[in-house]
């Protein structure tokens, strides 16, 4: 099972807290860490911008990144939120096992072969 560290930037600590809580409650991430006081410098709409942000670090499984990204996008105030996943190559085995156990189970394939109208 591949584990990842997702890096998200948020407009405020309040936004990061709300997003972090939502993805942990949904078990899309086992843990969320907020790192306030971030200063970002970036290109946006033809200009160089500087702004204060809060970094949000989410630890999860690689197979949940798409669902986690969709949830972040739904809750985020930015038109193009930063959500990037970086592989976790190693670490405390007990912690990594906990991380895997606290995230949502992979989706089960449908076994129902009945179609509408079948009796």
Q: Are strands 31-44 and 3-10 parallel, antiparallel or unpaired?
A: unpaired
pTM for the whole thing? 0.85
Q: Is 3 left (phi over 0), alpha (psi -120 to 50) or beta?
A: beta
Q: How far apart are CA 83 and CA 85, in angstroms?
A: 7
Provide the CATH topology of domain 3-101: Alpha-Beta Plaits (3.30.70)
pLDDT per residue rounded down to tens, the chain (119 residues): 899 999 999 999 999 999 999 999 999 999 999 999 999 999 999 999 999 999 999 999 999 999 999 999 999 999 999 999 999 999 999 999 999 999 987 554 444 444 444 44
Domain ranges of the chain: 3-101
Cα 115 from Cα 112, distance rounded (Å): 8
Q: What pLDDT is stored for residue 78 in this prediction?
A: 96
pLDDT in the model for residue 73:
98
């Amino acid at each position: 099972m591949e584990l990842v560290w997702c890096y998200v930037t948020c407009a405020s600590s309040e936004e990061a807290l709300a997003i972090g809580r939502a993805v942990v409650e949904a078990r899309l991430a086992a843990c969320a860490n907020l790192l306030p006081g971030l200063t970002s410098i970036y290109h946006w709409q033809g200009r160089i911008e500087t702004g204060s942000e809060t970094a949000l670090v989410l630890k999860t499984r690689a197979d949940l990144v798409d669902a986690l990204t969709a949830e972040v996008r739904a809750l985020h105030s930015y038109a193009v939120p930063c959500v990037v996943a970086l592989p976790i190559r190693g670490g405390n085995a007990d912690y990594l096992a906990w991380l895997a156990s606290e995230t949502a189970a992979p989706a089960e394939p449908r076994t129902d072969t009945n179609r509408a109208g079948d009796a």
